[in-house]
Amino acid sequence: MARRGKLPTIYPRQACDPEVAAKLNEWISGIARVYACRALHVVEIDGYFSVKWLHFSGKVLGALAVWKKRTTIPPFIPSRVLCEDRFLLKGPWAHYEDKPKGYRLHIWQESCRNFERLAARVAPDVALVWYGGGSPAEGQASFMVYIPVGDQEYWCWYVGIKRTDGWSVDRMKGINPSELAYIEAHGKPNVFGPVPKRTPRGWR
């Protein structure tokens, strides 16, 4: 039975409603506990980004958008990236620890060059997370995940959060409510210890 450590609390750099920040931390911590990746890479994007970023690889001739079948690193420009953190899992029961500063997933490049930046090559066996938005003024937030589940295969999904009377999920792609609830349940602050053998997808 797999055992995972707890992830340090992640504090968004941009203005973010406490309710949204708490939910993001539960999802990120749930991913860290449930999936046996060697590391977790978390990227904060400035502001909300839409579901169109899921599987997005880049543009041809600066205009034609391309979504490739093989999972590539989404081409967010570095000026939109507020923060990148990588956490390494040292072993059973160990906590995730920060990688020394200086590592960056997003780089300046021509858009078409991103087609060759395969996730399995750039960040092998690393769960990748992007989030953005969440301020009361903006009224929406984004959460996107690429989880390695096999040889160069990824479970890629997106969740959008919107504020009406309160904050709630209003868009899901690549994941269903029960799968998200499972991850969230294992990311609660009071959860620590063995992870059940049954997981929604991608048990390794």
Domain ranges across the chain: 3-191
To which residue do tokens 């490049």 refer?
109
The CA distance from 145 to 11, in Å, is: 18
> What's the pLDDT at 203?
41
SS (H, E, C) the chain: CCEECCCCCCCCCCCCCHHHHHHHHHHHHHHHHHCCCCEEEEEEECCCCCHHHCCEEEEECCCEEEECCCCECCCCCHHHEEEEEEEEECCCCCCEEECCCCCCCCCCCCHHHHHHCEHHHHCCCEEEEEEEECCCCCCEEEEEEEEEEECCEEEEEEEEEEECCCEEEEEEECCCHHHHHHHHHCCCCCCCEECCCCCCCCCC
Compute the mean pLDDT over every residue in the chain, rounded to the nearest whole number.
82
Joined tokens for residue 143: 């959460």
The fraction of the chain above a pLDDT of 90, given in percent, is: 46
Residue 15 has pLDDT above 70, yes or no: yes
pLDDT tens for 59-113 read: 655 444 554 568 888 889 899 999 998 888 766 656 677 765 557 888 877 666 6
The fraction of the chain above a pLDDT of 70, given in percent, is: 75
The CA distance from 130 to 11, in Å, is: 14
Using 50, 70 and 90 to split pLDDT, how confident is the model at 19?
Answer: very high
Largest distance between two CA atoms of the chain = 50
**pTM value surpassing 0.75:** yes
CB 168 within 8 A of CB 161: yes
Cα dist. 122→11, 31, 113, 126 in Å?
Answer: 25, 20, 13, 9
> What's the pLDDT at 93?
54
CB 146 within 8 A of CB 71: yes
Residue that wins the pLDDT comparison between 43 and 5: 43
Helix axes 177-185, 18-34, angle to 10 degrees: 90
Joined tokens for residue 121: 């090559």
For 119-138, what is the mean pLDDT? 92
